[in-house]
Structure 1
Amino acid sequence: MPLETKILFTSDLHGSEVVFKKALNASKIYNVDYLIFGGDMFSSNFILVERRNGDYYLDGRKADLDQLHQSYLTTGFMPIILDNPEDFQNRETRRKLILERLEWQAERFVKIQEEKLSGSKLKVIWNLGNDDPVELDSFMNQRQVELCQGKVLDVGDLKMICEGYVNPTPFETYREIPDSTIFIRLRGLMDKVNSAETILNVHAPPINTKLDLAYINKERKHVGSKAVRDVIEERKPLLGLHGHIHESPGIDKINETRVANPGSLYRDGIFKGVHVVLERKIEGIIRKYKTKTINLIGG
């Protein structure tokens, strides 16, 4: 078994194809063993384009579809073309249209990943987040993408547990549950592993850290999960990888557990990641792990 496990973690791409490609490229540049996605992979902003007599209109003005598509590739803001924009006001119709577009997007991401990593030994693990519709889980599984929601996975000779659901937000997104439920889920998964040899890939960051400061009414406030923090304090995992709060990139420590959030600048097409090297040492018959290096990267 190797003495080191090298990981690149990123999160909150929100459909930016530019950032997705940069993440794949960075994984090769840094020669990591694992590329781990932390959730909110797909578009959560949509632009309604009206089709009328062969032309396209955005907010009543003629629109250039090529320009909208080029902008989408960077920002992840997904155009939805409708003959009657009022159809989007119907909840069922809106959900169906969004899911169709996100499945198209997911298909593109899978093909890009396959093409860019062809012949590579790099392993890619996906988590989905609160802005990713639950229906995408089965869609991605059918395409043999390794999703880790609610699972214990092997990362080398370590374990990783994943949770993409978050504590309640003001936005009523797809994957929100009470914080108490997050605690029960995480504790149940931690019962199956040796916590000292386990990585948490949990979309919600632990509360009261450098990772969970969001702007609310022009003030920065801690909005992370108490459940996630409680589990880290109680079980002392090796590492915590988080996302969700775009404006709060950082590395912190809860007791001896290093925790990190790369942040997100997806709208600008900027990649943000966390590069981690985990080291294994043998002391007699005892195997020990530590975080050798952990750094925020981007570009």
Structure 2
Amino acid sequence: MKIFYCADIHAAETTFRKFTNASKFYGVDMVIYGGDFTGKMVVPIIKDQRGRYKCTYYGSTVVLKNGSELPDLEKTLRECGFYPVVFTEEEYDRLTESDADRITREQQIKVMEAWIKLADARFRKNNIPCVFIPGNDDDFFIDPILEKTDFMINGDNKVVEVKGYEILSLSYGHPTVFKYPRDISEEELSKKIDDLAAQVKNMSKCIFNIHVPPYDTYCDQDVQYDENLNPILDGGELATGPVGSKAVRQAIDKYQPLLSLHGHTHGSRGVSKIGRTLAINPGSDYDSGMLRGAIIEIDSGADVRYSLTSG
């Protein structure tokens, strides 16, 4: 069995299209996606009375002299995981906070509907099963869209069997300072995993697909933030440390699945052995157009080999 796993595409168009072609490119038997489809923000492109367009992203301001350059700018923003929306100066000045929330939601829904349709068609064409979940950063209003697939499998909060392996999947995460839509308490997260684990018939052929990584491993190291979302400094440097879930770590210790796949912590591209379980976080570099992933090969004796990929 040869599996390709990735996570955390966050609305980046080029990265997403690479994901939909990954099964054919890597020649795998199955694809697993570990959550976080949606982007984090809308980038306004403001048209002034002289017909120029201006927007600011990554701290830089871009000014276009005419509309012929607009498609290229919109493409660049989509490739970075932003949602570009054009406003006149008057429209932009009238926007309220509730307008901003509504527009972001509309853009997330619009992109997800197009993405799911495209991905479902490509995986069907290649006849490669894909089990996917949203992530804790994805709001619940995208869930009805994720149920529209005819070929891909939304595994969230389920145990599904594919090609002789049981895949236990969960989108929820533990509490974070960022208060993502699917953040729940460690106790609730533990119960959800326990309820799913009770459905597994054979842990030696079970794959955990849980968005957040296990605590204190090579899969969960990241910058530390205080409750005001400011990065914590240690001797003038950014303080780093474990940010994963203790409930997920305890579940892996307890159930010892064959394999445990995680995303969420983009910069913690790493692999840890927890008892007999191999835990992998391939990391994410979505805004550069890079698809980071992992290829996992499982032989008939349940030996697991892996390689981390970038492309």
TM-score, with structure 1 as normaliser: 0.89
SS of structure 2 residue aligned to 1:199: strand
Displacement after TM superposition at 1:115 (Å): 5.0
2:307 corresponds to = 295
1:176 corresponds to = 183
2:44 corresponds to = 48
Contact 1:165 1:177 in 2 (8 A): yes
Q: 2:209 aligns with which of 196, 201, 211?
A: 201
Distance of 2:249 and 2:205 partners within structure 1: 18
Matches for 1:3-22 after TM superposition, within 5 Å: 5-22=1-18
1:284 corresponds to = none
1:238 corresponds to = 258
Give 5+ residue unaligned stretches, structure 2: 225-231, 233-237
Contact 1:12 1:244 in 2 (8 A): yes
1:68 corresponds to = 73
RMSD: 2.0
Q: Could you say if the C-alpha distance between residues 87 and 164 of structure 1 is closer, same or farther in structure 2, counting changes exceeding 3 Å?
A: farther
Structure 2 residue 103 is matched with structure 1 residue 97: yes
Structure 2 residue 55 is matched with structure 1 residue 58: yes
Displacement after TM superposition at 1:220 (Å): 1.5
Distance of 1:150 and 1:255 partners within structure 2: 24
Structure 2 residue 125 is matched with structure 1 residue 119: yes
Structure 2 residue 193 is matched with structure 1 residue 186: yes
Structure 2 residue 162 is matched with structure 1 residue 167: no
2:228 corresponds to = none
Deviates more, 1:241-250 or 1:191-200: 191-200
Matches for 1:125-140 after TM superposition, within 5 Å: 125-140=131-146
Contact 2:35 2:136 in 1 (8 A): yes
Q: How many residues align?
A: 286
Distance of 1:44 and 1:72 partners within structure 2: 12
Displacement after TM superposition at 1:71 (Å): 0.9
Displacement after TM superposition at 1:67 (Å): 2.8
1:287 corresponds to = none
Contact 1:8 1:274 in 2 (8 A): yes
Contact 1:47 1:78 in 2 (8 A): yes
Contact 1:44 1:77 in 2 (8 A): yes
2:182 is aligned with what amino acid? R
Q: Could you say if the C-alpha distance between residues 158 and 61 of structure 1 is closer, same or farther in structure 2, counting changes exceeding 3 Å?
A: closer
Distance of 2:62 and 2:133 partners within structure 1: 38
Contact 1:166 1:204 in 2 (8 A): yes
Displacement after TM superposition at 1:74 (Å): 2.0
Give 5+ residue unaligned stretches, structure 1: 282-289
2:297 corresponds to = 277
2:310 is aligned with what amino acid? G
TM-score, with structure 2 as normaliser: 0.85
Displacement after TM superposition at 1:168 (Å): 1.2
SS of structure 2 residue aligned to 1:253: strand
Deviates more, 1:16-25 or 1:266-275: 16-25
